[in-house]
Amino acid sequence: MPDSGAKPSTLSVLPRGAAGAVAAEKSLDTMPSVAERMWQATDDISGFAIQDVIAAEEDRHALKLERKILREMQRVDDEQASYEDEVVRASREQAELSWAAAFERATETVDPELLPHESAEVLKSLIQRNLLQYTDMRDNPTRFFEAHRILSKRLVGGFGIRFTVQFNLFAGSILGLGSDAQIAELDKLRDDAVLGCFALTEAGAGVNSGLVVGTTATWDPSTRSFILHTPDALARKQWISQGLTASQMVVIADLIVQGKSHGPHAFLMPLRNAHGQLTPGVSVGDMGGKTIANDLDNAWISFDSVRIARSCMLDRFATIEGEDKYVSRGGETMRLEVIGQRLLTGRMCIAQAALVFARTLFKTTREYSDSKGVWNPADTNAILSDVPQLAALYDRADRDLTDMEEFVGEVESQLCRCLSESKIPSAELVEAIAVCKIRGVGLATELCFKLQQEVGSFALLGGGGFEHLDMLLCCKFAEGDERILMQKMARDRLKQVQEEIGGGLGGWFELATELMGEAPRRREAMKALQLALAMKTRAPKQNQKQLDDVAQFEVDAETNQAARKQEAKAAMVAAWTDSWEEVYELAAAICDRHIAEVTQREQAQLEAEKEWVILAKRKEFAMHGRL
Ligand SMILES: Cc1cc2nc3c(=O)[nH]c(=O)nc-3n(C[C@H](O)[C@H](O)[C@H](O)COP(=O)(O)OP(=O)(O)OC[C@H]3O[C@@H](n4cnc5c(N)ncnc54)[C@H](O)[C@@H]3O)c2cc1C
């Protein structure tokens, strides 16, 4: 084909859309301007370049036009996309509102006055309505948390615990720790409205259950089954919610394979058959009456060499292979954070429940005190809400609850991201969740008990909400006791500061940076240093004493070494116990830092500055004393 001499149009090779617009801009930028091309033309004696200039000018115009069109198309695309996003967001919002209304209606039959078996039936019908699915914790975690909030608003007594045990601890453990096949069983558990319980707490370990587990699950290769056993009274499970009504149970036991302990693992096993008869070898009893939540059954449970199938082991992260080989899988070793994943979601639910409880109690009390007249010599229309100490409490409650809700909301959204991606939360997030529970429950408790003291006879009236106040005590120790969580925070931070101190120049530099850093971090570093020093001064005393004691025994070197190790550990524990004030002060500083970083940065900074001034003044005073 003869060459026509015509240049291929630049337009025809340009891509469409945003990339096209960028490409068009680029090609315009690199093209010489008309003036430059004219200079080239006059330099060209043949005059032939003039045609080039004209052609280039035409291209330039075409490109300009193309750029305009592409920009316009891009704008229309963007507008269309944002319109579609808005429509999707609005319809999702509407769907969630309708869902919340339906869930609220479905829980109308919840009544704290029901007997435990009646309350259990209410839960069964709620499960079958499938408004909240067991997989929502992973697929729609926001809805999972919202369901808990809705229930808390209704001050439903023991039903709130029953609900969270079923959806979070029982079904949630299957979802988090089960294999795909075990997770698939959740649909049947829902269709049959099977009630489940979660047996972690043991009599001896109390709030340290999980860290200490006495119940054993011993692998028997000859029958390819586990033998579940309660070796002594201390290992008996207790306080197990729904333990008198459930037919299935997730139980935490120390897994023993070939005589070796592999630590706590979760097993899903039948507790009762369809006729309500207990699995042979399982004993159950009632924990007795409580000050609140008597619509919830709480049981102690013990096992006498109960044989359970191999398939009972929730085996997403660990399994038994071959005859008797323990294997980790799924990219995680079975550690406390993995086995206790549901304790993390539970902690969020409890923090939220406590805050919603406080909001609701303040709202109903406020409605009462707004309409309740009080005698006032200067004002015949005075109302209870105007009494200054109560008015101040209302103000403070509103302010502090708002801040706490902001912090808890932020942590919840981070946790929701982990749940959606089936990821184990980072150490920092785990700590932030603990802060939500410690501070959320702490604030709700402080405010509600104060309100009880200030509002007169209303606090005694049934139906006002104050009769459920002890629920806040439950919140304090459930799913991770406040004190134990605080100790864990302090221990982690102490380890870090000890590493920094022992880490040579680099470590000291890191510590110095923290001590000079942002105020909340600085305060935390200071408290960590104080605890490290307190431990250092308290521990050697213990060590010396114990070394002398050890020297009195004339036994072989190995026993001596083991004894010394044991003694040194005891000395550390004793020093830790003696330093309990510094431990909790450090934990409080860590909590403050987490909250300040989300909410009131500047205020926290100012307060920490104040603390430095006080410390400096104290030092100055001490110096004067010595002089
Ligand atoms: C209504 C209700 C429902 C429950 N449901 C379930 C359930 O379904 N499943 C389940 O597994 N468990 C459940 N529990 C158990 C609950 O989660 C607690 O673990 C348990 O109640 C702890 O009780 P305890 O009094 O034996 O603790 P203890 O260990 O005796 O602790 C008592 C107090 O001492 C303090 N303390 C203890 N040890 C230390 C320490 N080393 N350092 C500092 N302070 C310490 C703690 O602050 C704690 O508040 C439930 C409890 C209740 C009341």
Per-residue pLDDT at 334: 75
Q: How far is CA 360 from the centre of its chain?
A: 23
Q: How confident is the model at residue 336 (pLDDT cuts 50, 70, 90)?
A: confident
Q: How far away, in angstroms, is 199 Cα from ligand 1 center?
A: 13
From 162, 166, 195, 239, mutation site for ligand 1 pocket: most ligand atoms within 8 A of C-beta:
239
Q: Is 625 helix (H, G, I), strand (E, B) or coil?
A: helix
Query: Is 367 found in the same domain as 277?
Result: no
Average pLDDT of the segment spanning 397-406:
96
Check if 477 has its Cβ closer than 6 Å to any atom of ligand 1.
yes
Nearest ligand 1 atom, CA 197: 8
Question: In this model, does residue 385 exceed pLDDT 80?
Answer: yes
Calculate mean pLDDT across residues 384-400.
Answer: 97
Please report the pLDDT score of residue 614 as a whole number: 58
For the stretch 536-545, pLDDT in tens is 888 765 445 5
Res 85: pLDDT: 85
Residues 363 and 453 in one domain: yes
Atom of ligand 1 nearest to the CA of 203: 26
Distance between Cα 620 and ligand 1 center (Å): 45
Which of 201, 252, 468, 581 is the pocket-test mutation for ligand 1 (most atoms within 8 Å of CB)? Answer: 201
pLDDT of 10 above 50? no
DSSP letter (8 states) at residue 237: E
Cα(200) to ligand 1 centroid in Å equals: 11
Of the candidate ranges 8-17, 164-173, 250-259, 482-491, the one whose mean pLDDT is the lowest: 8-17
Residue 453 counted as domain residue: yes
Could you tell me which of 454, 460, 608 has the C-alpha nearest to residue 527?
608
- 126 and 69, same structural domain? no
Query: Strand 282-286's sheet: what is its strand order?
Result: 237-241, 298-303, 282-286
Confidence at 17, pLDDT banded by 50, 70, 90: very low
β-strands 248-257, 216-220 pairing: parallel
Give distance in angstroms: CA of 473 to centre of ligand 1.
Answer: 10
Q: Binning pLDDT at 50, 70 and 90, where does residue 61 land?
A: confident
Q: Quick one: 454 exposed, middle or buried, by C-beta within 10 A (0-12, 13-18, 19+)? A: middle
Q: pLDDT at position 309, please? A: 96
* pLDDT value for 312: 97
CA-closest candidate to residue 251, choices 232, 264, 234: 264
**How many A from CA of 270 to the centre of ligand 1?**
25
- 501 and 447 inside one domain: no
Closest residue to atom 33 of ligand 1, CA basis: 207
Atom of ligand 1 nearest to the CA of 252: 11
pLDDT of 606-617, one tens digit each?
555 555 555 555
Asked if residue 46 has pLDDT above 80, the reply is no
Give, using CA atoms, the residue closest to atom 34 of ligand 1: 207
Region of 102 (left: φ > 0; alpha: ψ -120 to 50; beta: rest) is alpha
| Ligand 1 atom having least distance to the Cα of 479 | 17
Q: Are residues 79 and 48 in the same domain?
A: yes
Among the three residues 83, 105, 134, which one is the final residue of a domain in this structure? 83
Mutate to test the pocket of ligand 1, among 168, 207, 343, 470 (most ligand atoms within 8 A of CB): 207
Instruction: Indicate if ligand 1 lies below 6 Å from the C-beta of 198.
Output: yes
- 128-162 pLDDT, tens per residue? 999 999 999 999 999 999 999 999 988 777 999 99
- Residues 513-530 have a mean pLDDT of 83
Q: Whose C-alpha lies nearest to ligand 1, atom 35? A: 483
Considering the domain architecture, whether residues 235 and 346 belong to the same structural domain is answered as no
Task: Check: CB of residue 619 under 8 Å from CB of residue 611.
Answer: no
Residue 567 confidence (pLDDT) above 90: no
DSSP string, 254-281: EEEETTEEEEEEEEEEESB-TTSPBPTT
Last residue of a domain, one of 433, 462, 480: 480
Structure confidence at residue 493 (pLDDT): 94
DSSP 370: H
- Rounded to the nearest integer, the mean pLDDT of the chain is 86
Higher model confidence: residue 582 or residue 543? Answer: 582
Position 592 scores a pLDDT of 94
Residue 521 burial (CB count, 10 A): 19
pLDDT of residue 53: 74
- Rounded to an integer, the average pLDDT of 230-245 is 98
Report CA(415)–ligand 1 centroid distance (Å).
25
Say yes or no: CB of residue 326 within 6 Å of ligand 1. no
Residues in the chain: 627
Residue 287 and residue 298 in contact, taking contact as beta carbons nearer than 8 Å: yes
CA–centroid distance, 380 to ligand 1, in Å, is 50
CB-based contacts of 521, cutoff 8 Å, min separation 6 = 514, 593
The residue whose C-alpha atom lies closest to atom 52 belonging to ligand 1 is 239
CATH of the domain at 386: 1.20.140.10
User: Residue 218's domain is classified under what CATH number?
Assistant: 2.40.110.10
Q: Which structural domain range is residue 25 located in?
A: 10-83
Residue 260 shares a structural domain with residue 168: yes
Residue nearest to atom 2 of ligand 1 (CA): 239
CB 242 within 8 A of CB 249: no
Q: What percent of the chain has pLDDT over 70?
A: 84
Atom of ligand 1 nearest to the CA of 241: 8
For ligand 1, the distance from its centroid to the CA atom of residue 201, given in whole angstroms, is 7
The residue with greater pLDDT, 541 or 556, is 556
Q: Ligand 1: does its nearest atom lie under 6 Å from the Cβ of 314?
A: no
Quote the pLDDT of residue 375: 94
Output the residue whose Cα is nearest ligand 1's atom 6: 240
Residue 548's pLDDT band, with cuts at 50, 70 and 90, is low
Has residue 382 been placed in a domain?
yes
Distance of CA 551 to the CA centre of its chain: 48
Whether 100 maps to a domain, the answer reads no
* 97 domain residue, yes or no: no
The residue from 480, 503, 518 where one domain ends is 480
Please give the average per-residue pLDDT across 71-89, as a whole number.
87
Whether the CB of 385 sits within 6 Å of ligand 1: no
Rounded to 5 degrees, φ, ψ at 206 are 50, -125
Q: What is the pLDDT of residue 341?
A: 80
Shared-domain flag, residues 173 and 303: yes
Can you tell me which atom of ligand 1 is nearest the CA of 293?
1
Does ligand 1 lie within 6 Å of residue 206's CB atom? yes
Cβ burial of 72 (10 Å; 0-12, 13-18, 19+) is: exposed
Judgement on whether residues 191 and 179 belong to the same structural domain of the protein: yes
Q: Which atom of ligand 1 is nearest to the CA of 169?
A: 8
Residues 473 and 515 in one domain: no
- CB 202 within 8 Å of CB 209: yes
Stronger pLDDT, 62 or 320, i.e. the higher one? 320
CB of 38 closer than 8 Å to CB of 57: no
According to the model, what pLDDT value does residue 33 have?
55
Specify if 252 maps to a domain: yes
| Most confident by average pLDDT, 13-17, 22-26, 440-444, 593-597 | 440-444
Q: Residue 53: is it exposed, middle or buried by C-beta count within 10 angstroms (0-12/13-18/19+)?
A: middle
Q: Does residue 369 register a pLDDT over 60?
A: yes
Residue 104 lies in a domain: no
Distance 234 CA to ligand 1 centre (A): 14
Question: Which has the minimum average pLDDT: 50-54, 247-251, 317-321?
Answer: 50-54
Ligand 1 atom 38: residue of nearest CA:
207
| Amino acid of residue 99 | W
Question: Do residue 474 and residue 534 come from a single domain?
Answer: no
Q: Does the CB atom of residue 241 touch ligand 1 within 6 A?
A: yes
pLDDT at 304: 98
pLDDT score of 542 = 47
Predicted pLDDT at 546? 53
Specify the higher pLDDT residue, 227 or 2: 227
CA atoms within 13 A on the CB side of 382: 12
- The confidence score (pLDDT) of residue 498 equals 85
> Among positive and negative, which fits the CA dihedral 293, 296, 297, 298?
negative
Name the residue type at position 615.
Answer: L
Lowest-confidence pick of 163-177, 304-318, 419-433, 560-574: 560-574
41 pLDDT tier (thresholds 50, 70, 90) = very low
Categorize the per-residue pLDDT at 338 as very low, low, confident or very high, splitting at 50, 70 and 90.
confident
Question: pLDDT confidence of 568, banded at 50, 70, 90?
Answer: confident
Cβ neighbours of 88 (radius 10 Å) = 10
Give the burial class of 429: count Cβ atoms within 10 A of its Cβ; 0-12 exposed, 13-18 middle, 19 or more buried: middle
Give the count of domains, the chain: 4
What is the percentage of the chain residues whose pLDDT exceeds 90? 63
Q: Is residue 530 part of a domain?
A: yes
- Residue 98 forms part of a structural domain: no
Q: What pLDDT is stored for residue 32 in this prediction?
A: 54
Assess whether the C-beta atom of 207 lies below 6 angstroms from ligand 1: yes
496 and 601, same domain (yes or no): yes
Of 379, 404, 397, the closest CA to residue 447 belongs to: 397
CB of 294 closer than 6 A to ligand 1?
A: no
Q: Which two tokens stand for residue 245?
A: 């009504």
- Torsion 270-276-280-286 (CA) sign: positive
Q: What is the distance in A from the centroid of ligand 1 to the CA of 482? A: 10
